[in-house]
A = this chain, B = another copy of it.
Amino acid sequence: MINPSKQNLIQQITVDCVIFGYENQKLKVLIPKINFKGDFWALPSGFVSQEDDIDAAARKVLQFRTGIEDIYLEQFSVFGKASRNHTAFLDKLLELNEDRLKESENNREEYLWFTKRFIAIGYYALVDIGKVNPQKSAIDQSIEWHDINELPTMILDHQEIVEVALHTLRSHIDEKINAFNLLPETFTMREVQDVYEAVCGRTFVRTNFQKMILELNVLERLEKKYTGAANKAPYLYRFKK
């Protein structure tokens, strides 16, 4: 989290971002590691200033972390348990990093500010990893893509936030696959299936998958991609306007 000039922020609210990436038929999540003793991973997160729409606040986090200007994102859920606060995490961090975090009046105020209960508004995006230039914040040691099946242990309920984001992404994948812009203008049925398999974490039987997709009635079939070996040329598709 970026150290805030807190006067102008809405109190006790964060926007927490799950940035999914797709590359080589794999689904991954972009997660920074905090630059303090102890292994602290935390989702990219930001505060909401009085002047920013909540969507704009999330967009700032996503633009900063990915370098992509025009990112498609979705608000998906709010995490607002009364027990949800940073106290346990901050106490552990202070204990392990006593030398760097000397007690001062200023630090005390920061501590009291951060250990209030926070409500997190969850946003997710799905991007082409090849287009992303991952960016550390001032308090990060590193930022890396993690395979969805091998996530590090994150602070607070960030694991749950990723799980809910993934569930939402899966349940809307039919509507979203176009919005997320992961496929070229035209593509083969195999390429669509690859995206689905990465996101859904399972394989599909080719014939069943094709039947399911065509029934959604969102694709338009174009001419065959002639390669010389005509009998193996796959059809090309694009999304209906």
**Which A positions have Cβ atoms within 8 angstroms of B?**
10-13, 48, 50-56, 75, 77-78, 80-82, 117, 119, 121
Contacts and interface: CB of A to CB of B under 8 A. Distances in A.
Nearest to A54: B80
A119 B81 contact: no
A93 B66 CA distance: 46
A82 B119 contact: no
B13 A52 contact: no
Q: How many copies does the complex hold?
A: 2
Nearest to A76: B77
Most chain B CB within a 10 A radius of its CB, from A51, A77, A82, A119: A82
A48 B80 contact: yes
A80 B121 contact: yes
A82 B52 contact: yes
Nearest to A83: B53
28 contacts: A10-B11, A10-B12, A10-B117, A10-B119, A11-B11, A11-B12, A12-B13, A13-B13, A13-B119, A48-B80, A48-B119, A50-B82, A50-B117, A51-B82, A52-B82, A53-B80, A53-B81, A53-B82, A54-B78, A54-B80, A54-B81, A54-B119, A55-B80, A56-B82, A75-B77, A75-B78, A78-B78, A80-B121
Nearest to A52: B82
Contacts of A10: 11-12, 117, 119
A44 to B, nearest CB: 18
Contacts of A52: 82
A92 B52 CA distance: 26
A212 to B, nearest CB: 12
A12 B77 CA distance: 18
Nearest to A121: B78
Most chain B CB within a 10 A radius of its CB, from A52, A53, A117, A121: A53
A183 B223 CA distance: 49
Contacts of A80: 48, 53-55, 121
Contacts of A54: 78, 80-81, 119
Most chain B CB within a 10 A radius of its CB, from A10, A53, A81: A10
Contacts of A53: 80-82
